[in-house]
Structure 1
Amino acid sequence: MTDHWRPEQKLKRLDTQIAFNSEQIYFRFRWDQPNPGGWIHDMLVYRDGEWTQFANPSPWIAEGDNSEHTGFYEDRVSFLFDDGSVKGFEEFGGWLTVHTGMRSLPSEVSEQTVREHEHLGDDGLEKTDIRKYIPQAVEGEWWENDWRQIRSETELDQLKQDGVFLDLPMWRAHRSNPKGYGTDHHVLDYRHSDQGQNTYTTQEWDPVDGPEYMWDPDVVEGGALDYHEIQRGNFPDQQDGTYALVLENAVEFDPDVAEWEGAMIPRRPLREPYGSAADWRGAGTWDDGEWIVEMWRDLQTDHPTDTKQLERGGVYTWTPAVHHGAGKRWHWVAYPYKLGLGVRPDYRGEYHSHGTSELVAEAFDGERPDWSEVPTYTIPLIFPGILDWTDLTSDNHAMSEEIRNAEITMWELYEKDPESFLE
């Protein structure tokens, strides 16, 4: 993938249904994805006498001869969620979280520079890159966003206590779906995983010695998938095939069993999640070029400092995204929407999406919603390119004053519906 890669598809449409009862909220998503294999992710392949990581991008994204691709990356759906605590999110959605210096942008800060940072680096969070954060996590005016000026731990802890963070749940076709969960994150000074344990881990590996684990040969013959079969388009069936390495089905790697040309083993074994990281359940199915995904969680959880608490009659800002075949910034995103649980919210912007920017979650009785009774909203998603919050608030931006005062919305800023990206 080059720095200037753009998807062929400028716009995706995400059909969305939202329902809730006295205890839980449910989302149901449908979107077209003609390329199969989006449930395969980050594989270790034995080729030409050594183990190699095939990670990013997927074969239908890579440029050039796809028969020689070296990537597998899962499909995903995610969304940012707020209860009005984060200034600017109602107006600008996910653009509020993207800043100069982040990974996958031309301005990406080097690993060494991040490691030397007092808060982010080796003596703090032990990170090697910069990911999403909200401007309130750094010093200065609410809109200022220099990653080098992150607030003190005491100030960040207070922001969390006050609910000044964004909720970020995610459904992952490989790393969470086989376990029946999503993964849960929140954005403050970094894109953090929630308390507890997510559905996946990372196994150690070496080009010569291979990985730590392989499949039990009683589960997968030869202890590994066959890369050559997948290269020919013969993917394991998403609904009942074996393609994820669940730790319960894993055994210690044995080169006498699984070290053969084309042997392919996931680098990311799956495990049982717990804690706040396991708040979201999820189930998705790919069939005939379309994903259908459901996500659900309790309205009230035990971890209010990393999860937004929900209630009937509440109004929230919501902005979804769909990821296909690649990670980082390569996805399609929505402008911000207002979502009311059983009530119609007020969205003050003058410009709206095709249909409405005001969504209503449908109340239902019983354990699960009857989706035939729940209205469908079609959400247009666009490729965001490299536009970031630093650009939007720069003195060079014609509307910087209105943006800094949160007097204009993303819809109004470009005075067009995302549907116009097709024109």
Structure 2
Amino acid sequence: MTDTWLPKEKLKQLDTQIAFNADRIHFRFRWDQPHAGGWIHDMLVYRDGEWRQFANPSPWVTADDNPEHTGFYEDRVSFLLDDGSVKGFEEFGGWLTVHGGMRSLPSEVPEAEVQAHEHFGATGLDKTDIRKYIPQACEDEWWENDWRKIKPQQELDKLKRDGVFLDLPMWRAHRSNPKGYGTDHHVLDFRHSDQGQNTYTTQEWDPEDGPDLMWDPTVVDGGALDYHEIRDGDFPDQQDGTYALDLEDAVPFDPDVAEWEGAMIPRRPLCDPEGSAADWKATGVWDDGEWVVEMWRDLQTAHPLDTTQLEPSGVYTWTPAIHHGAGQRWHWVGYPYKLGLGVEPDYAGDQYTAGTTELVATEFTGDTPDWSRIKTYTLPLVFPGLLTWDNLVAKSHPRANEVRDAAVTMWELYENAPESFIG
């Protein structure tokens, strides 16, 4: 991502419905997405005598015209959820988690420097980049956020036991939707996957030797999709076509079968999820330029160390996001909202905007909600650009002291108008 890279759309409208019963919470999302193919993701393509990775961005996401389609990245919807344990999240939402040095920012920390760090590197988490984290994971004042000064693991473990983390479930059009699940994550010192197994894994590959796996030719003719067809817009049907490589349909790669010009095989095979990573069920359908996605999980789960526990009449802070055609920081995000399960929440940000900042989940009986009876909230999502938490707490920011005191909200900082905000 560069400081001049902007999407064609600066604003997305996300229709949101929320319902709960004694056991579960359900979300239903609708948004316009005129570009087909958002269910194709991270492909290995045999071209001009070698295998190449066609990941992101997809060419339709930016204002730059690019006739060559060499990027495939799935559409996604996600949200951050907090029960009040993370200071500053009620006021600043996802901006609290974005910091200088993160991957995809111009300030991205080099891999060698990450690997050399005691906590993030080879002797600790063994990461190659810096991702979302909350300031509370760092030493010094609550708002200070130097990734080099992450707290000792013993203190991080205590924060988790105290619920000081952000829950982050996602629905992924390619990597989770075919399995009927979302993927589950949480943010403290890093954007961690929840315990267990998510719905996807990663296969090894080599430019000369190709991938480890391909489709069983009885499932997909020739063991691979045809890049040329998909580049020209002939996508496998999202609802009943074959486009994801499930491990149940995979066989060892055979170059005599699947090494042909334009052969295309997913780098991310799918598998059955387990443990806390399988808490969220989900399904999504793209039809006539619109996504409709439903996500649901139990209010109380067996995994409180990485999942925010919910209860009727509870009030939470919630903020959604949508990805299209690219990953990481390139997305549309919502300001923070207060969400009450059957109760009207009270949010200080409400005084700063004419639109709603307070959402009420509707209680229902039976197994599934009747969505025709559930209130719809239309929420504006904005492209956040390169604005980070560092910018908001910097002394040069005109309202830095209020930010550091959590005495102002994103709604107020940007003059009540997400429609006009580009970070």
TM-score, normalised with respect to structure 2: 0.98
Partner of 2:91, secondary structure, is helix
- Corresponding position of 2:306: 306
Tell me how far apart the structure 2 counterparts of residues 65 and 372 of structure 1 sit (CA, whole Å): 40
Please say if residues 16 and 377 of structure 1, whose CA atoms lie closer than 8 Å, have aligned partners that are also in contact. yes
Runs of 4+ residues deviating >6 angstroms: none
Relative to structure 1, the CA distance from residue 235 to residue 367 in structure 2 (aligned partners, 3 Å threshold; closer, same or farther) is: same
1:278 partnered with 2:301: no
Please say if residues 181 and 280 of structure 1, whose CA atoms lie closer than 8 Å, have aligned partners that are also in contact. yes
RMSD (CA atoms): 1.2
Tell me how far apart the structure 2 counterparts of residues 62 and 321 of structure 1 sit (CA, whole Å): 18
Tell me how far apart the structure 1 counterparts of residues 354 and 47 of structure 2 sit (CA, whole Å): 49
Equivalent residues in 2 for 1:1-400, closer than 5 Å: 2-61=2-61, 66-352=66-352, 355-400=355-400
Please say if residues 351 and 411 of structure 1, whose CA atoms lie closer than 8 Å, have aligned partners that are also in contact. no
**C-alpha deviation, 1:65, in angstroms:** 5.6
Write the deviation string for residues 8-48 of structure 1: whole angstroms up to 9, x where unpaired.
Answer: 11100000000000000000000000000000000000000
Q: Percent identity?
A: 76
Write the deviation string for residues 168-213 of structure 1: whole angstroms up to 9, x where unpaired.
Answer: 0000000000000000000000000000000000000001110000
Tell me how far apart the structure 2 counterparts of residues 99 and 269 of structure 1 sit (CA, whole Å): 31
Please say if residues 213 and 250 of structure 2, whose CA atoms lie closer than 8 Å, have aligned partners that are also in contact. yes
Tell me how far apart the structure 1 counterparts of residues 400 and 2 of structure 2 sit (CA, whole Å): 30
TM-score, normalised with respect to structure 1: 0.98
Corresponding letter in the other structure for 2:24: Q
Tell me how far apart the structure 2 counterparts of residues 63 and 379 of structure 1 sit (CA, whole Å): 24
Corresponding letter in the other structure for 2:304: P
Tell me how far apart the structure 1 counterparts of residues 15 and 63 of structure 2 sit (CA, whole Å): 29
Partner of 1:311, secondary structure, is coil
Corresponding letter in the other structure for 2:294: E
Corresponding letter in the other structure for 1:320: P
Partner of 2:340, secondary structure, is strand
Please say if residues 353 and 380 of structure 1, whose CA atoms lie closer than 8 Å, have aligned partners that are also in contact. no
**C-alpha deviation, 1:350, in angstroms:** 4.8
Partner of 2:184, secondary structure, is strand
Corresponding letter in the other structure for 2:42: D
Write the deviation string for residues 88-139 of structure 1: whole angstroms up to 9, x where unpaired.
Answer: 0000000000011111111111111001000001110000000000000000
- Corresponding position of 2:413: 413
Structure 1, gaps ≥5 residues long: none
**C-alpha deviation, 1:355, in angstroms:** 3.2
**C-alpha deviation, 1:2, in angstroms:** 4.6
**C-alpha deviation, 1:59, in angstroms:** 2.6
**C-alpha deviation, 1:69, in angstroms:** 2.6
Tell me how far apart the structure 1 counterparts of residues 265 and 104 of structure 2 sit (CA, whole Å): 26
Tell me how far apart the structure 2 counterparts of residues 18 and 350 of structure 1 sit (CA, whole Å): 19
Tell me how far apart the structure 2 counterparts of residues 358 and 61 of structure 1 sit (CA, whole Å): 31
Partner of 1:136, secondary structure, is helix
Corresponding letter in the other structure for 2:40: I
Please say if residues 352 and 417 of structure 1, whose CA atoms lie closer than 8 Å, have aligned partners that are also in contact. no
Corresponding letter in the other structure for 2:218: D
Corresponding letter in the other structure for 1:122: A
Of the structure 1 ranges 51-60 and 22-31, higher mean CA displacement relative to structure 2 is found in 51-60
Corresponding letter in the other structure for 1:331: H
Relative to structure 1, the CA distance from residue 271 to residue 413 in structure 2 (aligned partners, 3 Å threshold; closer, same or farther) is: same
Relative to structure 1, the CA distance from residue 66 to residue 354 in structure 2 (aligned partners, 3 Å threshold; closer, same or farther) is: farther
Write the deviation string for residues 287-332 of structure 1: whole angstroms up to 9, x where unpaired.
Answer: 0100000000000000101000000000000000000000110000
Corresponding letter in the other structure for 2:35: N
Please say if residues 351 and 417 of structure 1, whose CA atoms lie closer than 8 Å, have aligned partners that are also in contact. no
Tell me how far apart the structure 2 counterparts of residues 367 and 182 of structure 1 sit (CA, whole Å): 19
Corresponding letter in the other structure for 2:127: K
Corresponding letter in the other structure for 1:180: G
**C-alpha deviation, 1:354, in angstroms:** 5.3
Tell me how far apart the structure 1 counterparts of residues 133 and 268 of structure 2 sit (CA, whole Å): 25
Tell me how far apart the structure 2 counterparts of residues 382 and 3 of structure 1 sit (CA, whole Å): 16
Relative to structure 1, the CA distance from residue 112 to residue 27 in structure 2 (aligned partners, 3 Å threshold; closer, same or farther) is: same
Please say if residues 67 and 231 of structure 1, whose CA atoms lie closer than 8 Å, have aligned partners that are also in contact. no
Tell me how far apart the structure 2 counterparts of residues 42 and 301 of structure 1 sit (CA, whole Å): 32
Structure 2, gaps ≥5 residues long: none
**C-alpha deviation, 1:278, in angstroms:** 0.4
Corresponding letter in the other structure for 1:144: E
Tell me how far apart the structure 1 counterparts of residues 59 and 266 of structure 2 sit (CA, whole Å): 16
| Aligned length in residues | 422
Partner of 1:68, secondary structure, is coil
Please say if residues 7 and 63 of structure 2, whose CA atoms lie closer than 8 Å, have aligned partners that are also in contact. no
Write the deviation string for residues 385-419 of structure 1: whole angstroms up to 9, x where unpaired.
Answer: 11110110011111111110001111111122213
**C-alpha deviation, 1:67, in angstroms:** 2.9
Please say if residues 62 and 69 of structure 1, whose CA atoms lie closer than 8 Å, have aligned partners that are also in contact. no
Tell me how far apart the structure 2 counterparts of residues 5 and 151 of structure 1 sit (CA, whole Å): 34
Please say if residues 3 and 386 of structure 2, whose CA atoms lie closer than 8 Å, have aligned partners that are also in contact. no
